[in-house]
Structure 1
Amino acid sequence: MVTKRALGISLLLLGLAFVGVFHAVASLAFDSGVGWIGIGLAAISLLGIVLVNTGGGSTNR
Structure 2
Amino acid sequence: MATKRSFGVSLLLLGVAFAGVFHTVAALAFDSGLFVVGIAVTAASLLGIVLVNVSITGPPKDD
Q: Same fold (TM over 0.5)?
A: yes
Q: CA deviation at 1:2?
A: 1.0
Q: CA deviation at 1:47?
A: 0.3
TM-score, with normalisation over the residues of structure 1? Answer: 0.91
SS of the aligned residue for 1:32 comes to: coil
**Poorly superposed stretches of 4+, deviation over 3 Å:** none
Root-mean-square deviation (Å)? 1.1
CA distance in 1, matches of 2:20, 2:29: 14
Please tell me the residue identity of whatever aligns with 2:52.
Answer: V
TM-score, with normalisation over the residues of structure 2? Answer: 0.88
Paired position in structure 2 for 1:16: 16
Please tell me the residue identity of whatever aligns with 1:53.
Answer: N
* Structure with bigger gyration radius: 2
Paired position in structure 2 for 1:34: 34
Unaligned runs of 5+ in 1: none
Paired position in structure 1 for 2:51: 51
CA distance in 1, matches of 2:39, 2:21: 6
User: How much identity, in percent, do the aligned residues show?
Assistant: 64
Q: More helix by proportion, 1 or 2?
A: 1
Please tell me the residue identity of whatever aligns with 1:27.
Answer: A
Unaligned runs of 5+ in 2: none
Q: How many residues align?
A: 59
